Amino acid sequence: MSKLPKIIWSKIDEAPALATYSLLPIVNAFTGAAGVTVETSDISLAGRVLAAMGLAEDNLAELGNVVQQPDGNIIKLPNISASIGQLKECISELQEQGYDIPDFPENPETEEEKAVRAKYNPCLGSAVNPVLREGNSDRRAAKAVKRFAQNHPHRLKAFEENSKAYVAHMNGDGDFYANEKSVTMDKAQKVTIALNGKELKTIDALEGEVLDGTFMSIKKLRAFIQKTIDEAKANNVLWSIHLKATMMKVSDPIMFGHAFEVFFQEVFTKYADLFAELGVNARLGMSDLEKKIAGHEKEAEIKAAFQAVVDSDSPKIAMVDSDKGQTNFNASNDVIIDASMPVVIREGGKQWDRNGNAVECVAVIPDASYGLFYEEMVNDCVKHGQYDVATMGSVANVGLMAQKAEEYGSHPTTFEMAEDGKVTVTAEDGTELMSFNVEKGDIWRMSRAKDIPIKDWVRLAVERASIEKVPTIFWLDSKRAHDSEMIKKVNKYLADHDTDGLDIQIMDVAAATRFTNARVREGKNTISVTGNVLRDYLTDMYPILELGTSAKMLSIVPLLAGGGLYETGAGGSAPKHVDQFLKEGHLRWDSLGEFLALAESLRFIGQKHSDEKLQALTEALDEANDGYLDNNKAPSRKCCEPDNKASHFYVAQYWAEALANGKNTALAERFAPVAKALQENEDKIIEELLAVEGKAQDIGGYYHPDDAKAEAAMRPSATLNAIIDAI
């Protein structure tokens, strides 16, 4: 048994899962030489489904215990936050593979169906992150990554002069921002949410916890959607809606469905009875609707009616796939705001129309709470032009997310109102904390932020400000109820720290965006300190502009219990990567996030356990990562050029060379022949890796691959395998 703590490497989904088949054997060979064990834990969507049905170990629950340990050390790759459509596809694939599991009951009626739905529900949406994120987030670009991006700037397309691109939000008229109320608990007690006196949920609130209640008026949402459609037509811009239906798995699919119905109002009205008969659910998008009408005598007629609206230019609608004719309403998880809005900026305020042309757009983001950020981002570029990647400054982030802080409206406390009336939030001692007058169909939700994570969030912000010596901005709006309560806590806990000489400020979202962007354009760095949702949005927006992808960010979560969670990459484009790999054997996923996370994970062990081999191993990996960047060994996007598998080879080569030339004699002796073999066989290895390019791959499943087939596909070089396996 190694005396050093183990690292747990998450087995997840799609492109990063495929990459793991190639990378992990290399990682194990190198770390094992220094006494560090790396174990896998299956928290993929398929793994979670099988666990929910009692057919596999509940690895997610086990990792929930690991993050509570002082030596807990997890490298977490991006996993699927499943929509209903994705979950149904996963279940179907598992059934085809012989697993005896029931279908997903979309509209459960019997007690048996309700029980099955209850088992599957935890697999939907952001199932993994709330369990593992028992700490706050520290996200920033490594110096070598930033240097590479500036020396090899990716292309950002210019905004046109007098660009018509803009963001539309509800501006506090009936949205979550406008209706929010907030309270800080003065003691621990049960709190009950009720509609017209009927209990919706009872929670155990803690002393010092911030509770928020708010709702989205569906009547005003639909009116707003229609207004944006009319304005888009008048302004001759492409129309698109941007939501987070994967993470905000209760509220945002509902909003998506209403927008779908409003945009295609005539079609939904004309076929209302038939759609009800067929079980059409607008919240699942056009792709599901097409499945529901398949084979019906009016199938062609209905499709033609939808296409007539698309062709009418009233207004033009953004497409997720012009070649396939798939619009912004194909599925609720096709357009995910934190991935889609950076692309709007990158493309010069444009999206793609039905002919594949880039056209200026209006990005519809209903809730002003976060629409304000994107509005300022677009306005800044319309006014000042595109950013200069070669000179722009960096925006790091300290994000409040520990213990499910502000977890997107807390799924268990988000409800669609069954009737008109009054929602009350009442403490166990009889105190009415909040009340709201709502209408049937409105979306009511509660968010929670516990006191201990908030205190740690402030501590981490001060720590990063002290290290970086740059302005550190808390993005908090005194006019928003939740933020007003948070400002009180921030001021209280800042007083516990020595902030002398530090530039720490509190600004509302719009002001913070303007302040930060001005510094970005001057080449200056800034630290943003935000709640969980803005953490998600900012740590995609700025890195995608700065680095070309958020997958290259360091994402460190110092766990409250003393351990570490190291998150890698961003999985938004992972499905396209898998499609390309299955078609032509080329995986363009860049594992740089995994390389960086592994280095930080090893460094964390070294901080607690002094060990010469471990120190040498970590320093050598740092050198390898620098070499990977300096020599531009990232995977090509094109088939028949070096891909992800080749990038793993080069990291192994650089890592072995650094160890062979390092100060630790034992490791130098062990890796000198490895470095020599990798160097001498480089041409042969690359030739073997490229030999599979252009050939279709069978991995036995999309959600639940056959391990033997996937490993064979991702380790096609017998020469490389022999060298690595012999270490």
pLDDT tens, residue by residue, 626-638: 999 999 999 999 9
Question: Where are the domains positioned within the chain?
Answer: 7-134+559-725, 166-174+218-384, 176-216+401-449
Q: Are 466 and 500 in contact (CB under 8 A)?
A: no
Cα 343 to Cα 364: distance, rounded to the nearest angstrom: 14
pLDDT band for 122, please (50, 70, 90 cuts): very high
Q: Which two tokens stand for residue 436?
A: 């709201």
How far CA 218 is from CA of 51, 173, 222, 553, 600, in Å, comes to 36, 11, 6, 37, 46
Q: What is the mean pLDDT of residues 394-415?
A: 85
Q: What are 309's two structure tokens?
A: 């609206």
Residue 109 CA, chain-centre distance (Å), reads 33
Structure tokens, 723? 């060298």
Nearest CA to 371 among 562, 173, 213, 647? 173
For 317, list phi and psi in degrees, rounded to 5. -115, 145
H/E element, 91: helix 84-96
Q: Do residues 27 and 18 touch, judged by C-beta distance below 8 A?
A: no
Amino acid at 122: P
What pLDDT score was predicted for residue 148? 92
Could you give the CA distance from residue 361 to residue 322 in angstroms, rounded to a whole number?
Answer: 16
Report the pLDDT value the prediction gives residue 405, as an integer from 0 to 100. 77
Q: Is the pLDDT of residue 412 over 90?
A: no
pLDDT score, position 65 = 97
Does residue 596 contact residue 625 with C-beta atoms inside 8 Å?
yes
**How far apart, in whole angstroms, are the C-alpha atoms of residue 153 and residue 85?**
37
Predicted pLDDT at 68: 96
Residue matched to tokens 């097409």: 290
Query: CA 539, 544, 549, 552: dihedral to nearest 10 degrees?
Result: -50
Residue 727 contacts residue 33 (beta carbons within 8 Å): yes
pLDDT of residue 641: 97
pLDDT at 680: 98
pTM for this model (two decimals): 0.91
pLDDT at 353 over 80: yes
Give the separation between CA 567 and CA 152, rounded to whole angstroms: 25
Q: To the nearest 5 percent, what fractions of the chain are helix, strand and coil?
A: 50, 15, 35
Q: Give the mean pLDDT of the chain.
A: 95
Are 540 and 343 within 8 A, CB to CB? no
- Percent of the chain predicted with pLDDT > 70: 98
Residue 293 · residue 287 · CB < 8 Å: no
From CA 401, how far away is CA 508, in angstroms rounded?
19
Instruction: Evaluate whether 371 touches 167 at the Cβ level (below 8 Å).
Output: yes
Dump pLDDT digits (tens) for 230-281: 999 999 999 999 999 888 889 999 999 999 999 999 999 999 999 999 999 9
The CA-based dihedral angle spanning residues 375, 377, 378, 382, taken in that order and rounded to the nearest 10 degrees: 130
Statement: residue 552 has pLDDT above 90: no
- Write down the pLDDT at residue 2: 47
List Cβ neighbours of 206 (8 Å cut-off, separation of 6 or more): 185, 188, 450, 451
Kindly list the distances between the CA atom of residue 463 and the CA atoms of 398, 401, 449, 507, in Å, as whole numbers in the listed order.
Answer: 10, 17, 21, 19
Question: At 392, is the pLDDT very low, low, confident or very high (cuts 50, 70, 90)?
Answer: very high
330 and 83 Cβ atoms separated by less than 8 Å: no
At 1, the pLDDT band (50, 70, 90 cuts) reads very low
